[in-house]
Chain A
Amino acid sequence: MNIRTPKNWELSESAVTTESIYRLRNRRDFLKTLGVGLAGATLDPRALLAATAGFPDKENPLYPASALKPTAYEYVTSYNNFYEFGTGKDDPAVYANKGWKTDPWTVELAGLIRAPGKFDVNDLIKKLGGIEQRVYRHRCVEAWSMVVPWDGFPLAKLVTLADPMPEAKYVKFTSFLDPKSAVGQQDSYLGWPYVEGLRMDEATHELAFIATGIYGKTLPNQNGAPLRLVTPWKYGFKGIKSIVKIEFTDKEPYNTWQRLAPNEYGFYANVNPQVDHPRWSQGSERVIGGGIFSGRQTTLMFNGYEKQVAGLYKGLDLSKNF
Chain B
Amino acid sequence: MEKLLRSKVFIWTLLILPGLWPVVPLLQHDPTFGADPLKYILHHLGFIACVLLAAVLALTPLRVIFPKSKLALALNRHRRLIGVSAFVYAALHLATHLVYEGGFGVLVSDVKKPFLLTGLIAFTILLVLAVTSLHRLVRALGAKHWKLLHRLAYVAAALAAYHQSAARKIFPVQVLWIFVPLALLELARLVITRRQRNRVLTPSGAARTG
Does B34 sit within 8 A of A, measured CB to CB? yes
Of the candidates B35, B38, B114, B115, which one forms a contact with A79 in the assembled complex, judged by CB atoms under 8 Å apart? Answer: B35
B135 within 8 Å of A (CB atoms): no
Q: How far is the CA of A289 from the CA of B36 in the complex (A)?
A: 6
B32 touches A286 (CB 8 A): no
Query: In chain A, what residue has the closest Cβ to B106?
Result: A281
Would you give 28 A-B contacts (Cβ < 8 Å), ordered by A? A27-B31, A30-B28, A30-B30, A30-B31, A74-B31, A75-B34, A79-B32, A79-B36, A87-B168, A89-B35, A90-B30, A93-B32, A141-B169, A142-B169, A144-B36, A276-B110, A278-B113, A279-B114, A280-B115, A281-B106, A281-B110, A284-B102, A284-B106, A286-B36, A286-B39, A291-B37, A292-B41, A295-B102
Is A296 interfacial (CB-CB < 8 Å)?
yes
A52 touches B (CB below 8 Å): no
Structural contact, B31 and A281, CB atoms closer than 8 A = no
- Asked if B166 lies at the interface with its beta carbon under 8 angstroms from chain A, I say yes
- The residues of B that contact A27 with a CB separation of less than 8 Å are 31
- Compute the total of residue contacts between A and B using a CB distance below 8 Å: 70
Identify whether the interface residues of A are mostly helix, strand, loop, or mixed: loop
- B-side contacts of A88, CB under 8 Å: 32
* B residues in contact with A87, CB < 8 Å: 168, 170, 172
B145 on interface, CB distance cutoff 8 Å = no
Q: Does A63 contact B (CB under 8 A)?
A: no
Max chain A Cβ within 10 angstroms of own Cβ: one of B34, B36, B41, B170: B36
B52 to chain A, nearest CB (A): 23
Task: Determine the residue in chain B with the shortest Cβ distance to A277.
Answer: B113
Interface size on B, residues (CB 8 A): 27
A144-B39, A276-B110 known; 20 other A-B pairs, CB under 8 Å? A26-B31, A27-B31, A30-B31, A33-B28, A75-B31, A75-B34, A78-B32, A79-B31, A88-B32, A90-B30, A142-B169, A276-B113, A279-B114, A279-B167, A286-B36, A288-B35, A288-B36, A289-B35, A292-B38, A296-B101
**A83 on the B face (CB < 8 A):** yes
A residues 125-151 near B (Cβ < 8 Å) are 141-142, 144
The reply to whether A280 and B113 form a contact with Cβ atoms under 8 Å apart is yes
C-alpha spacing A321/B182, complex, angstroms: 42
Q: How far is the CB of A70 from chain B (nearest CB, A)?
A: 14
> Nearest Cβ distance between residue B150 and chain A, in whole angstroms?
30
Residues of A within 8 Å of B36, CB to CB, are 79, 144, 286, 288, 290
Which residues from A are CB-within-8-Å of B102? Answer: 284, 295-296
Asked if B29 is an interface residue, CB under 8 A from chain A, the answer is yes
Report B67-108 CB contacts with A as 1/0, cut-off 8 Å.
Answer: 000000000000000000000000000000000111000100
Q: Which of B13-53 contact A (CB under 8 A)?
A: 28-32, 34-39, 41
Complex interface: chain A residues within 8 A of B34 (CB): 74-75, 289
Interchain CA distance A287-B22 in the complex, whole Å: 20
Across-interface contacts of B113 in A (CB, < 8 A): 276, 278-280
> What are the residues of chain B within 8 A of A281 when measuring CB–CB?
106, 109-110
Residues 282-319 (chain A) with a chain B CB within 8 angstroms: 283-284, 286, 288-292, 295-296
Return chain A residues, CB-CB under 8 Å to B38. Answer: 286, 292
User: Which residue from chain A places its CB closest to the CB of B40 in the assembled complex?
Assistant: A89
CB-CB nearest 3 A-B residue pairs: A79-B35, A90-B32, A78-B31
Q: Which single residue of chain A is at the shortest CB-CB distance from B37?
A: A292
| Chain A residues with CB below 8 A from B28, complex form | 30, 33
